[in-house]
């Protein structure tokens, strides 16, 4: 059974940094593209970033380019999101989601999310 477990969320001040992790199990991690999707309170889904299974390519939504960095450690079945220069509008639940193949596509499994709150 696929299991995705996010961690690392919490309260951070504006301008601060945070590193999210997503521990994966139940599937061949290295052959699956992985993604971060966020959802602000009461709002819709917003794609953040994707990384191919081999980590050779990364993709970001324009508003997060340069502030967020996605990475993965295939030896530890773990996905990361390094977030810097955080703003109040980055407050959201951050979901880790997998694609059933090595390049971005649709998201067939999701974690339960980790809440990031940016506030002074």
Partner 1 sequence: SYVLTQPPSVSVAPGKTAKITCGGSNIGSKGVHWYQQKPGQAPVLVISYDSDRPSGIPERFSGSNSGNTATLTISRVEAGDEADYFCQVWDSSSPCVFGAGTKVTVL
Near partner 1 by CB under 8 A: residue from 2, 7, 16, 59: 59
Instruction: Tell me the CB-side half-sphere exposure of residue 41, using CA atoms within 13 A.
Output: 7
Complete edge-to-edge strand list for the sheet that includes strand 78-83? 3-7, 18-25, 78-83, 68-73
**Window 68-97: residues binding partner 1 (CB under 8 A):** 95
Q: How far is the CB of 68 from partner 1 (least distance, A)?
A: 14
Among 79, 71, 69, 70, CA closest to 29: 79
Q: Is 111 an interacting residue with respect to partner 1 (CB under 8 A)?
A: yes
Chain residues binding partner 1 by CB under 8 A are 35, 37, 44-47, 50, 59, 61-62, 95, 104-113
């Amino acid at each position: 059974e696929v299991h995705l477990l996010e961690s690392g969320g919490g309260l951070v001040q504006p301008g601060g940094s945070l590193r999210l992790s997503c521990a994966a199990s139940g599937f061949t991690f290295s052959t699956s593209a992985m993604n971060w999707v966020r959802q602000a309170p009461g709002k819709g889904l917003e794609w953040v970033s994707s990384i191919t299974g081999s980590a050779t390519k990364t993709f970001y939504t324009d508003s997060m380019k340069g502030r967020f960095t996605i990475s993965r450690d295939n030896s530890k079945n773990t996905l990361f999101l390094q977030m810097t220069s955080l703003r109040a509008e980055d407050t959201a639940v951050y979901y880790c989601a997998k694609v059933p193949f090595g390049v971005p596509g649709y998201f067939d499994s999701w974690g339960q999310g980790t809440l990031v709150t940016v506030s002074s």
